[in-house]
Structure 1
Amino acid sequence: MATDALLGRILDADPGSPDAGVQALLALHSDLVLDPDLAPPSIADTARLLGLSTHTLRYYEDQGLVHPARNDSGYREYSAEHLRRLVFVTRMRVSGMSMRDLTRYVALVEQGDETIPERRGMMFAQRERVLRQLRELTLALETTEYKIREYGANPEG
């Protein structure tokens, strides 16, 4: 399922549910389970699945964000863990996390559990950035709706 479809499922989840976001993320992770009887997805398959370009996947690999295995022919093979990591990376990039912070975060993950306090701190800082973006977007939406009303229309359509 492409990340656009996965994102659609998350965005369409019942926002009234107290744990809607968590449930949606768990659903996303459960959808990224690969059939063990099939060959692991190639870079082209992974790009198609996640809605990314092969160039982006190679860039993320070059930056140390993901380390796909290579088959006997030297072609990349992505595991379910790689796919989950790439979905995380994609969401963090969409939310504005810098590549510097993202590479630092992934390096910490790879160092093990002793880095959890620093990773937690990074996620709190990212959360604050996202909350600020949401406030800015809410203000932009309110301004847009004000203008729509000024033009004699109902913003709801």
Structure 2
Amino acid sequence: MKSIKEVADMFGITTDTIRYYEQVGVIPTITRGENGYRQFTTQDINWVFLAKSLRSAGVSIESLIQFTLLSQVEGDERLAQKDILKEQLVEVDSKLEEMMSVRNLLQYKIDTYDEHIARINEEFKSNERVEELWNQSFRVKN
């Protein structure tokens, strides 16, 4: 068993965040000891980790609440959890593609920086040879 402080420290979040997650239903209710303090089991810690990870990936609080509620039902209804995860995976993949595109642009600018500065110095007032970055292909190739 771990305390709320220990769990918060494990994941670099505040105890207030964990309390909020429990209060709104992002994580299931945590068992309390005789002293009234939360006692986190491994399963509880897994829920905190999952909530933190999914929030970092952009999953909304509402979706996390729905995900948690679905974990407490039986039968085919619970399969909707997988749909929530699939939707988020599509979103993360899209963000990754966009970030890779930006990364490729940055790498291109770094790789051609010296050449670009030399060209600027040679043709300080001419716009004829200015490249059209928007027409360059920095998209990630599938």
Q: How does the TM-score come out when normalised to structure 2?
A: 0.75
Give every structure 1 segment of 4 or more consecutive aligned residues whose post-TM-superposition deviation is greater than 4 Å: none
Shift of 1:140: 1.1
Contact 1:70 1:76 in 2 (8 A): yes
Task: Note the residue ranges of structure 1 that are not aligned, 5 or more in a row.
Answer: 1-39
Shift of 1:46: 1.1
| CA displacement, residues 78-99 of structure 1 (integer Å, 9 cap, x when unaligned) | 1100111111111111111111
The alignment partner of 2:114 has SS state of coil
1:69 aligns with 2:31: yes
1:95 aligns with 2:49: no
Q: Percent identity?
A: 25
Shift of 1:116: 3.2
The alignment partner of 2:20 has SS state of helix
Which residue identity lines up with residue 105 of structure 2 in the other structure?
T
Higher-Rg structure is 2
Length, aligned pairs only: 114
Shift of 1:123: 1.4
| CA displacement, residues 128-147 of structure 1 (integer Å, 9 cap, x when unaligned) | 10110111111110111111
Task: Note the residue ranges of structure 2 that are not aligned, 5 or more in a row.
Answer: 116-142
Q: How does the TM-score come out when normalised to structure 1?
A: 0.68
Which residue identity lines up with residue 96 of structure 2 in the other structure?
L
Which residue identity lines up with residue 110 of structure 1 in the other structure?
Q
Contact 1:109 1:115 in 2 (8 A): no
Which residue identity lines up with residue 71 of structure 2 in the other structure?
V
